[in-house]
Amino acid sequence: MLLFIITSILFFGILAFIAQRKAPEEYNQKINTINELGCQFYEHRAIMQWGFKGFGLILIAGILFNPNQSLKELYFSIPLMLYALFMFLSGVFSVKPFEHLVFYSIKESKKHTFFTQVAGFSVFLLIVMKLVMVTGAVNRIINISVLVLSLYTSIQSGRDIEKRGLYQRSLYMVNFFWLIYAYSGIMS
């Protein structure tokens, strides 16, 4: 499973890097989110959309190709599967454009936002479940720290318009590193 997690994160990271390199001058990494690299009516949106879709598909494949582990730890596999599914769906629908005065589908933007929020909720649920069910003082400290940091960066990305891009990138980074740690065998 760890190989699939690392592969999905690398896939997402590489496509996010490429998408940011192709972004126009109007795009500001400090203000604009990663999701906006796949926004509606943007010529290079397919890159980031495939970043989300690929991330989700690789994680889903990891769960399906490891049925013994997935069924043995079904209580962890379900929120991970939901996270993967909703990250995939975040790539199917696009957020509103980061450029002003561009007409866009509000309905599609709301779907993207909904799927992104449910994906975030799913990974928070997974962190809480690992916090409750996995023993060890170090694991508890790490899980509590990640939970608090994830909640803080998530809230700040919605509140601090001038730094929401930085907060969202931090949120992804924290969650991705935690996923690697949680499935590396160290947390058991």
What pLDDT sits at residue 188?
Answer: 62
* pLDDT, tens digit, 9 for 90 and up, residues 154-187: 999 888 889 999 999 999 999 999 999 999 877 6
The pair of three-digit structure tokens given for residue 3, joined into one six-digit string: 């190989």
What pLDDT sits at residue 138?
Answer: 92
Q: Locate tokens 């769960």: which residue?
A: 63
**pLDDT for 99 beyond 90:** no
Distance of alpha carbon 118 from alpha carbon 103, whole angstroms: 26
Higher pLDDT, 28 or 98: 28
What pLDDT sits at residue 63?
Answer: 95
* pLDDT, tens digit, 9 for 90 and up, residues 100-110: 767 888 899 99
Q: What is the pLDDT averaged over residues 7-24?
A: 96
Band (pLDDT 50/70/90 cuts) for residue 15 is: very high
Alpha-carbon torsion 85, 86, 89, 91, what sign? negative
The pair of three-digit structure tokens given for residue 9, joined into one six-digit string: 């994160």
CA distances from 181 to 1, 40, 130, 162, 170 (A): 12, 34, 11, 31, 16
Q: What is the pLDDT averaged over residues 100-124?
A: 90
The pair of three-digit structure tokens given for residue 185, joined into one six-digit string: 């065998």
Q: What is the pLDDT averaged over residues 133-155?
A: 93
* pLDDT, tens digit, 9 for 90 and up, residues 41-96: 888 999 999 999 999 999 999 999 988 887 888 889 999 999 999 999 999 999 98
